[in-house]
Structure 1
Amino acid sequence: MYWLITLMTLGIVGIIATGVVMEIKPAAINRRWFKPTIGLNLLLFIVGQATLLFFGVQEVMAAPAVAESSGEISIGLGLGIIGMGIPTALSTVGAGIAVGPIGAASLAVLAEKPEIFGRTLIYLGLAEGIAIYGLVMSILLLDKL
């Protein structure tokens, strides 16, 4: 298991190091090998993550059963808790994707017409509402758990 975690860590460190090198000396980057290297690091991370998930699930399933009254979380409850957090995670990512361009456009418009500040806030609020909907769904799912 530790070799998988090391493999994933090296993939992440490689991507971070490439980003730092690009930020410091962007002209020194050889573009011919750059994209395949980043793709290889990303593929390495994804394969390591999938393998870790596969071996981790196998190890948990092979563990001896414990009494339910001991207060530990079962596999079903753990997966339910993860599934409960997914709507919040995905809606927050969606809201971030929506708020970015809307915020940039709002600032550009406010530089020319400051009197439409309220309208731009409404658009930003509508985009941010996506995250609130995901949070409400997670709270409703928490009640079912």
Structure 2
Amino acid sequence: MTGLIACLVLPVAATLGAGIWLELKPRRLSAAWLKGGLLANVALFGLGLATVMLVGVQDVLAAEPAAAAAGGITLGQGLALLGIGLPTGLAAIAAALALGPIGSAALAVIAEKPEMFGRTLVYMGLAEGIAIYGLVMSILLLGKL
């Protein structure tokens, strides 16, 4: 299992290391080189994640009776908790994608017409409501567990 975790950590550490190295010693790199490095990191991370999913599930299923005897969380309860967290996470990502263009446009409008501040605040609140809906769904689902 340690090797599988290393397969997941290695691409992330390589990406961080490359970012720090390029920040300290900047030089011009071609877009193709950067694209290739990014694709290689994503492929390695995906391969490690798939390996953990395929091999790690076997370990979890083998250890389920021991966890049930100890009174811990079962596999089904763990998956249910992950499923409950998904609406909040996905709604937060959607709200961030919505707030980016709205926020930049709001700043541009406020720079030209400061009296439009209240109206732009309403638009940003509507976009932020997406995250609130996801949080409410997670709370409702958690009550059903």
1:100 is aligned to 2:119: no
Query: 1:75/1:64 Cα in 2 relative to 1: closer, same or farther (>3 Å)?
Result: closer
Q: What is the rounded CA distance, in whole Å, between the counterparts of 2:2 and 2:35 in structure 1?
A: 28
Quote the offset at 1:55 in angstroms.
1.4
Task: Kindly indicate whether the alpha-carbon contact (under 8 Å) linking 2:84 and 2:141 is maintained by their aligned counterparts in 1.
Answer: yes
Aligned to 2:89: 89
Task: Quote the offset at 1:66 in angstroms.
Answer: 3.9
String of CA shifts for 1:76-115, please: whole Å, max 9, x gaps.
Answer: 1111110000000000010011111111111111000000
Cα distance, 1:29 vs. partner? 2.1
Q: 1:9 matched to which residue of 2? A: 9
Name the stretch that deviates more: 59-68 or 88-97: 59-68
What is the root-mean-square deviation in Å for CA atoms of aligned residues?
1.9
User: 1-side partners of 2:128 and 2:51: how far apart?
Assistant: 35
Deviates most, 60-69 or 106-115: 60-69
Q: CA 1:35 to 1:67, structure 2 compared with 1: closer, same or farther past 3 Å? A: closer
* Pairs aligned (count): 145
Secondary structure at the aligned position of 2:60 is classed as helix
User: Which residue in the other structure is 1:44 paired with?
Assistant: 44
Give, in whole Å, the separation in 1 of the partners of 2:14 and 2:70: 43
CA contact (8 A) 2:67 2:73 kept: no
In structure 2, what is the equivalent of residue 59 of structure 1? 59
Are 2:106 and 1:117 equivalent residues in the alignment?
no
TM-score, normalised to structure 2, is: 0.90
Instruction: Give me the identity figure in percent.
Output: 51
Contact 1:95 1:130 in 2 (8 A): yes
1:134 aligns with 2:131: no
1:8-28 per-position Cα deviation (integer Å, ceiling 9, x unaligned)? 211011222233344445533
Contact 1:95/1:131 (8 A) holds in 2: yes
Distance 1:13-1:67 versus aligned 2 partners, 3 A rule? closer
Length-normalised TM-score, structure 1 = 0.90
CA separation of 1:20/1:64 partners in 2, compared to 1, >3 Å: closer, same or farther? Answer: closer
Gaps of 5+ in 1: none
